[in-house]
Structure formats: C-alpha cells, structure tokens
C-alpha cells in the first residue's frame, strides 16, 4: 500500500447530474491519490473523464452491479485508505483529514441527518452504530487492510451491512457532514433494479 492518501472507489452508470461535480471535487483534493471509476454503462461515458488526471477508469463489458464493483475497486487500489462513494454524493473533502486518524479500526459511514443538513455548523462527530441507518453506505471510509470481500451473490443491497458485520472494529457513523440534500441513489432507485435488491435483502436475511 502507498502513502497516507485515499483511493476513492465510485461505481457509475452515468444517471446522475451530480457525477461531474463529484469527480471534479475529488480530482482537486490533495488527500485523494486516485479515483477508481467502475463504469457499468460505457455507452454513456462523458468526454470530460479524460481530463481528470486522478481517474483510474475501469470499463465493464456489462453491469457488474454495486457490491462486486466495490470489491473490484478495492482490489485495484494502491493507497492505504479507502473511500467508497456514490456517484451522486457531494461532500466537503476536509472529511478526509478528519477521518484519517480514526480509520485503522472499523468502517465509517453516514448519519442519516447528514442528508438533511442537520448539525452542519457543528464539528464532525463519530458514534458507534448497532444497525445500518438509511444512507450510511452512500459514502463510507475504511482502512484497506481491513476490507473484507463482500459476498458477490449480493449484487446491489446489503454490501454495507456485510462490511459492518465483518469488519474489524465494527460500524460507526459520521455526524454533521453536509451532503447537499437527500436526492441520492439515483441509479439504484430505478425500477429495473428493484427485483435484484429484494433478492439481495432476502439472501442477507437468510445468512444473518
């Protein structure tokens, strides 16, 4: 592993109008060493990708779905710390500096209130969780050495549950980070993915 920077893993199908802004913000951030972009819908690839120097572009012949894309991105990463991010989540990149000292144990995702602007004028806080709240897995952080490969029978849903359950140190949530609104998971909310998500949830419940 390399340095104290973050490898940011982002699967995309290009359905969000926030993706360009998200990638540009990350590309300009000194704490980000690389952006591993897993393209599950290459027919819509925009031209601006070629201008983002930190992007490591991984086109897929077909949609491999979210959880396998996370696994792939972590395998391809070269930096010590991992950030997993939805393509439609915009956030203040000073969170990287805040979370780095905490990250050697546990996996750190979002508090639901972050999507509604709660506590945005307060300092960041970390609190342990007993269950995964809504929105937790749309942006989360983990030490690469602590990554536990997600069972790839889980295609879309419950990959975050898997990591909270299996990762050394358990799960935490970061409070008071402004995420710019609750219009997230634009891709997985599409009706074509509903059936697969229900299958994932049933499988997860049968396992745990």
CATH assignment at residue 151: 3.90.550.10
Distance in angstroms (rounded) separating the CA atoms of residues 74 and 160: 14
More confident residue, 189 or 68: 68
* pLDDT for 183: 72
Please tell me what DSSP assigns to residue 123: P
Of 138, 17, 123, 166, the residue nearest 66 (C-alpha): 138
The predicted model gives 184-201 an average pLDDT of 81
* pLDDT for 186: 67
User: 1 pLDDT exceeds 60?
Assistant: no
User: 73 pLDDT exceeds 80?
Assistant: yes
Confidence of residue 208 (pLDDT cuts 50, 70, 90): confident
* pLDDT for 62: 97
Distance in angstroms (rounded) separating the CA atoms of residues 141 and 197: 23
Please give the tally of structural domains in the chain: 1
Helix 66-76 crosses helix 159-166 at what angle (to 10 degrees)?
A: 50
pLDDT digits (tens, 9 = 90+) for 112-165: 999 999 999 999 999 999 889 999 999 999 999 999 999 999 999 999 999 999
Per the structure, the complete domain to which residue 36 belongs is given by: 2-207
Q: With a threshold of 0.85, does the pTM exceed it?
A: yes
Q: Which residue has the tokens 């049968």?
A: 206
Q: Which residue has the tokens 């295609």?
A: 155
* pLDDT for 193: 81
* pLDDT for 91: 95
The predicted model gives 73-102 an average pLDDT of 96
């Amino acid at each position: 592993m390399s340095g104290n920077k973050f490898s940011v893993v982002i699967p995309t199908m290009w359905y969000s109008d926030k993706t360009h802004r998200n990638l540009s913000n990350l590309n300009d951030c000194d704490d980000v060493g690389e952006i591993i972009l897993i393209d599950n819908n290459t027919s819509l690839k925009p031209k601006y990708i070629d201008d983002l120097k930190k992007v490591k572009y991984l086109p897929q012949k077909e949609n491999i779905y979210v959880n396998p894309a996370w696994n792939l991105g972590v395998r391809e990463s070269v930096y010590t710390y991992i950030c997993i991010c939805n393509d439609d989540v915009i956030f203040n990149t000073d969170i990287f500096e805040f979370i780095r000292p905490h990250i050697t144990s546990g996996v750190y995702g979002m508090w639901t209130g972050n999507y509604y602007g709660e506590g945005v004028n307060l300092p960041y806080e970390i609190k342990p969780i007993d269950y995964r709240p809504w929105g937790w897995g749309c942006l989360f952080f983990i030490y690469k050495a602590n990554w536990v490969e997600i069972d790839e029978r889980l295609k879309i849903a419950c990959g975050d549950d898997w990591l909270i359950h299996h990762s050394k140190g358990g799960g935490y949530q970061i409070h008071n980070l402004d995420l710019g609104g609750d219009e997230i998971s634009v891709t997985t909310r599409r009706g074509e993915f509903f059936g697969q998500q229900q299958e994932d949830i049933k499988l997860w419940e049968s396992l745990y």
